[in-house]
Structure 1
């Protein structure tokens, strides 16, 4: 049976959604499962890409910039202390681009109907996670225990900050139905209630990077016209509702039942770096020592420290591992893409069309995530990488078609070869490590008496043991 291009896109989208739901919603999920799902999704994107002709997505300057980043990454990886892990990180970068292109192709082929599908997926994911949170809260309040840790109510992620990163992407998108003028009042009220609960979880989780990212996105969107200001108004209303729910549950009800909180959201209202200072200094010293090509992708994890296998700061991470020139190219590409999207948003600031409002929400999610990446590992964690690829891919599909995109005829062939090699390497690493991953993590904990430090896997330190 021969599938049309649209049918192939639908199959890819259905399988991608199933994988996302599995990685986010299963209570026993975590970093390693999510990384495995990311590799599976990259394989799906590769197969989909090989079966259709996507057409040009980048203009000549962007294509040259991307090629330069990959070339510099390859050279840096070849010179790294552990080249295989370095090439694995480059493969992750390529696979994220592959997934973004696949989502862009699916959206462009499927049209505006897929915008409704995307928002429905976001609503369902947030609904499931909210139900899990409220159910866990009900069990905690009725258990008879006198001490409650709100962090234990979060499930599906290895760390509450990873949960917060997922919320950074979904909070902006969940507000889209509230911006649509045709939405009925009952549906609007239901979506607002869900957004309030989603903010309750964001507040109780205490991820300051999420608060910072959403606040920065709000300031920017407020200057982009009526649609942006309405988005800010709905987010402020929902955040206020979430704060009220937090007070009712964790102050009012907890106090009435005589339950004490082991940690509260107010404890996170500090300016402390939460241990980031030493790892930022480590990244800075790496930059000073090897500014041109860095130590190699993922090689921050090759220098053990007691805090983390990545510096929790995107620019410092990229510069210390890939080199300063590569970092400048990546910043230039991100700025160029963001500025182009900002221009479209300004042009259509008065529009109430679904596609323009979705572009606004996607841009808010992207801005919030990039801001959070300045203090958190957004570019490291598998679910965050997947959502970053999805948001970028969808924005790419919504952008006006690129003029002169076919100016480099060899790009498509080279990209295909790179994609096949990258996904093949990721599958090799997964097949090598997954069967023994639990034992390896236990050996690491027994040897170091330390916590797991996620990078590629949940135990992300790649430094070779001393003989």
Structure 2
């Protein structure tokens, strides 16, 4: 039986949903499982792409040429790197994320508006599951607490609470979409608002300042994007205040009543310190100055051992120091062009109440928040964040309204892209097969000699320095 393109897209999306649920909601989940989940999603995306013979354009010619230039510069930089294989793995990750974004765009175009609703239902259910996990862990902690409780221990499914915060930055904007739908019933809106308040409670308890920075910047941007942008901001501010109230009632009033001391309280994180980022920013800057044209090679920041991190927690510095300044400028120009084009569509349809237009607004908000957070955090490094960024970008590509008539992709270019994706995912699978059986032992060896702290990059133990 030959499946239609729409059916193949549905199979791809079902596979992605299953992998994301396991990677995010499983109690045993963490960085390494999420990296394997990402590789599996990349493989599904490439297989789906291979079944598509002809598509309408997803990007314009300058964007396609820019992407090819970035990949070409990345390959040249990899050949000059101290560890070329790991550098090529980073380039393969970039290509696989592109393949995932393209697959989401193709699936959305085939599935139409019904997939927009399915996406939001999935986000709501995912946030609901995580909220139930948090609430259940909190109830057990209060019952069994012996005078002291750490809210950080209530966060599950992520190796680090900052990775959880990145996930929230990408989902908080989308979770507000049902509240913007005029036809949605009041009971459903009340339920979604309650969930959004709990989601903000978890953001407050997690204390990821990058999430606050990203959401704050997003609020400023959306405030000037018409009435629906301001309504989105109003709902987010109301839910944030609700989350703060819930946090105060649970971790202050109830904790004091039960005589429980709260460790790592949210108020303890209201600081302006760089939390150790200064030295790694300087390291990235010195790398950039030493090799400005091609950088040290993708992922090669992790090849220079330090006591803090295997990436600089700053997207621009990371890309410029590893891939080179020309590549970083090319990425910045493409990001600016894409953002400006999306902004133009948002302004033109500022009064629209169509699902697609409201979803575009929320997707744009998620993208802005994630990009702002990437200036102080490893959003472009962590596997789950990379997958969600690809989802957001792919969906925006599918929803984009072109000013000129769409034309089919050049068969040669489409064929070259599919071949590139196949090679990239193949390399990632080879690395996973090579490393996964030995991950636990390698981590234990590293922990025994490095102050019991892992530094994530490709794997949770991400330092590749020999």
TM-score by length of 1: 0.98
User: Which residue is equivalent to 1:43?
Assistant: 43
Separation (CA, whole Å) in 2 of partners of 1:57 and 1:37: 25
| One of 431, 441, 453 as aligned partner of 1:429 | 431
User: Which residue is equivalent to 1:453?
Assistant: 455
Displacement of 1:407: 7.1
Structure 1 spans left out of the alignment, 5+ residues: none
User: Which residue is equivalent to 2:152?
Assistant: 151
Aligned with 1:145: secondary structure? coil
Query: Deviation digits for residues 24-72 of structure 1, max 9, x if unmatched?
Result: 0001100000000000000000100001233321111001100000000
Separation (CA, whole Å) in 2 of partners of 1:432 and 1:381: 20
8 Å contact from structure 1 (residues 58, 405) kept in 2:
no
User: Which residue is equivalent to 1:400?
Assistant: 401
Query: Deviation digits for residues 239-275 of structure 1, max 9, x if unmatched?
Result: 0000000000000000000000111111111110000
User: In the alignment, does 2:320 pair up with 1:319?
Assistant: yes
8 Å contact from structure 1 (residues 74, 90) kept in 2:
yes
The two structures, once aligned, show a CA RMSD in angstroms of: 1.0
Aligned with 2:144: secondary structure? coil
- Matched ranges for 1:197-346 at <5 A: 197-346=198-347
Change beyond 3 A, Cα 1:107–1:404:
closer
Displacement of 1:345: 0.2
User: Which residue is equivalent to 2:24?
Assistant: 24
Aligned with 1:295: secondary structure? coil
Displacement of 1:144: 3.7
User: In the alignment, does 2:378 pair up with 1:377?
Assistant: yes
User: In the alignment, does 2:3 pair up with 1:3?
Assistant: yes
Query: Deviation digits for residues 141-160 of structure 1, max 9, x if unmatched?
Result: 00041111000000000000
Query: Deviation digits for residues 326-362 of structure 1, max 9, x if unmatched?
Result: 0000000000000000000000001111110000000
Separation (CA, whole Å) in 2 of partners of 1:16 and 1:296: 31
Separation (CA, whole Å) in 1 of partners of 2:407 and 2:288: 35
User: Which residue is equivalent to 2:87?
Assistant: 86
8 Å contact from structure 1 (residues 123, 174) kept in 2:
yes
Query: Deviation digits for residues 190-220 of structure 1, max 9, x if unmatched?
Result: 0000000000000000000001101100110
Separation (CA, whole Å) in 1 of partners of 2:194 and 2:454: 36
Change beyond 3 A, Cα 1:206–1:39:
same
Separation (CA, whole Å) in 2 of partners of 1:405 and 1:148: 59
Structure 2 spans left out of the alignment, 5+ residues: none
Displacement of 1:403: 4.9
Change beyond 3 A, Cα 1:147–1:106:
same
8 Å contact from structure 1 (residues 73, 90) kept in 2:
yes
User: In the alignment, does 2:162 pair up with 1:161?
Assistant: yes
How many residue pairs get aligned? The number is: 464
Query: Deviation digits for residues 156-203 of structure 1, max 9, x if unmatched?
Result: 000000000000010000000000000101001000000000000000
8 Å contact from structure 1 (residues 59, 403) kept in 2:
no
- Matched ranges for 1:52-131 at <5 A: 52-53=52-53, 54-131=55-132
Query: Deviation digits for residues 387-418 of structure 1, max 9, x if unmatched?
Result: 00000000000002475765755321221221
Query: Deviation digits for residues 420-462 of structure 1, max 9, x if unmatched?
Result: 1100000000000001100010011123334100000000000
User: In the alignment, does 2:192 pair up with 1:191?
Assistant: yes
Separation (CA, whole Å) in 1 of partners of 2:313 and 2:182: 40
Aligned with 1:377: secondary structure? coil
8 Å contact from structure 1 (residues 314, 377) kept in 2:
yes
Separation (CA, whole Å) in 2 of partners of 1:267 and 1:411: 53
Aligned with 1:156: secondary structure? coil
8 Å contact from structure 2 (residues 165, 206) kept in 1:
yes
User: Which residue is equivalent to 2:12?
Assistant: 12
8 Å contact from structure 1 (residues 59, 405) kept in 2:
no
8 Å contact from structure 2 (residues 57, 409) kept in 1:
no
Aligned with 1:431: secondary structure? helix
